[in-house]
């Protein structure tokens, strides 16, 4: 097996640098196809559905509905019933192969958002403690699943493609007739993945690179994500505590499954946190060094300029300004 990239080397986000091919190959090599099909976690009666269609060696032949159902089952099953060997075998097998399906067909942005988000949820369920993940595997997850948003097919000289599965610009029926600033789903899942698995000492450079990407809609998405992620980043909340319907919602497919472990309250013992204290401190500390009112105002002007010719764009700018105002106060950036 080829050696993985140095786990402690700098980690940055750069458009065009998507999932690393060598890291994907290592993930595939670590997990050959299990000998038996995976079964569902939730069923009534004597007959348990088995995901036999996923035994096909070509992932493009997997029915999307079967793949989505299997990912939900191997994520919700361990939460409700504890680990099972078949789920532990099928998760690492499906991960790299399903990831290669994301973004393959641009018309499936909605399905890709769901698929990617469920892959992130499954990773959190099966690898809940980053410190217990081997350094090589941890870096390979960051270099593959963590870079899906940066794949060349989602970017152009103008910035993030409008139909990219990870775009924070979405049409939300029943909310507003125009575009909404909505970093939930894939965008949020991806940012949360890095915040959890990247070593604290590398978070500052990653944040610098992410905020330096010169795209007004991407930056607006980041500000909205920071607003919605405040309970996780500042208070240590678990994703299941994030509000589903909120001005700054950042929930993603399956995030409700990620719950704080049940435990007796012990006086003097800090409650469990989804993101490690070192990671939270590093991210917030870096944020306070890099983001301030002046920079947010520059982004505001650039966003308004970019959308000047678009109809119904005032609502989008208003959402950005509300998020920016919230972030300034909640993170004490001034």
Residue 246 has pLDDT above 90, yes or no: no
List CB contacts of 58: < 8 A, sequence separation 6 or more. none
Find the mean pLDDT for residues 110-132: 95
Write out the two tokens for 266: 């012990």
Q: Which residues contact 62 (CB under 8 A, 6 or more apart)?
A: 53, 54, 56, 98, 101
CB 120 within 8 A of CB 190: yes
| Residue 317 host element (H or E) | helix 314-330
Name the pLDDT band for 3 (thresholds 50, 70, 90).
Answer: very low
The reported pLDDT for the residue numbered 316 is 92
Q: Is the pLDDT of residue 110 over 90?
A: no
Percent of residues in the chain assigned helix, strand, coil, to nearest 5: 55, 5, 40
* Average of per-residue pLDDT values in the chain: 91
**Mean pLDDT, range 48-67, rounded to an integer:** 94
pLDDT digits (tens, 9 = 90+) for 129-163: 999 999 999 999 999 999 999 999 999 988 999 88
The pLDDT of residue 270 is 60
What number is the average pLDDT over the span 24-35?
97
Q: Is the pLDDT of residue 164 over 60?
A: yes
Q: Give the separation between CA 181 and CA 6, rounded to whole angstroms.
A: 36
Which tokens in the block code for residue 281? 């401190």
pLDDT higher than threshold 60 for residue 232: yes
In tens, the pLDDT along 290-306 reads 999 999 999 999 999 98
User: What is the spatial distance between Cα 297 and Cα 243, in angstroms, rounded to a whole number?
Assistant: 27
Segments making up each domain of the chain, as ranges: 12-41+52-156, 168-256+272-334
- pLDDT bin (cut points 50, 70, 90) of residue 2 is very low
pLDDT for 272 equals 81
Question: In this structure, are residues 175 and 315 in contact, taking their beta carbons and an 8 Å threshold?
Answer: no
Our CA angle for 258, 259, 263, nearest 5°, is: 145
Report the pLDDT value the prediction gives residue 4, as an integer from 0 to 100: 45
Least confident of 82-86, 104-108, 202-206: 104-108
pLDDT band per the 50, 70, 90 thresholds, residue 267? low
**Residue 241 or residue 7, greater confidence:** 241
């Amino acid at each position: 097996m080829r050696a993985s990239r140095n786990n402690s080397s700098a980690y940055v986000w750069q458009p065009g640098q998507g999932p690393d091919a060598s890291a994907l190959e290592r993930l595939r090599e670590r997990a050959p196809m299990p000998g038996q099909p995976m079964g569902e976690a939730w069923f009534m009666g004597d007959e348990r559905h088995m995901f036999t269609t996923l035994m096909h060696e070509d992932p493009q032949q997997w029915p999307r509905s079967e793949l989505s159902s299997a990912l939900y089952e191997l994520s919700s099953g361990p939460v409700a019933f504890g680990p099972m060997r078949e789920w532990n075998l099928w998760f690492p097998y499906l991960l790299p192969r399903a990831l290669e399906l994301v973004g393959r067909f641009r018309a499936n942005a909605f399905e890709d958002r769901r698929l990617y988000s469920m892959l992130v949820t499954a990773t959190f369920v099966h690898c809940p403690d980053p410190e217990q993940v081997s350094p090589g595997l941890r870096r390979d997850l960051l270099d593959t699943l963590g870079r899906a948003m940066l794949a060349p097919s989602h970017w152009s000289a103008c910035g993030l493609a409008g139909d990219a599965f990870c775009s924070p610009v979405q049409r939300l029926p029943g909310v507003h007739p125009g575009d909404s600033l909505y970093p939930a789903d894939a965008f949020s899942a991806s940012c949360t993945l890095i915040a959890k698995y990247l070593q604290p000492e590398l978070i500052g450079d990653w944040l610098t690179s992410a905020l330096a990407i010169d795209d007004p809609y991407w930056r607006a998405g980041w500000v909205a994500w920071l607003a919605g992620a405040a309970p996780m980043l500042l208070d240590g909340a678990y994703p299941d505590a994030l509000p589903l319907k909120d001005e700054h919602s950042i929930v993603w497919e399956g995030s409700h499954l990620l719950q704080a472990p049940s435990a007796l309250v012990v006086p003097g013992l800090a409650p469990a946190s989804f993101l490690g204290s070192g990671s939270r401190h590093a991210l917030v500390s870096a944020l306070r060094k890099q983001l301030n009112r002046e920079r947010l105002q520059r982004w505001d002007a650039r966003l308004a300029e970019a959308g000047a010719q678009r109809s119904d764009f005032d609502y989008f700018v208003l959402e950005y300004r509300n998020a920016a105002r919230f972030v300034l106060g909640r993170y004490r950036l001034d």
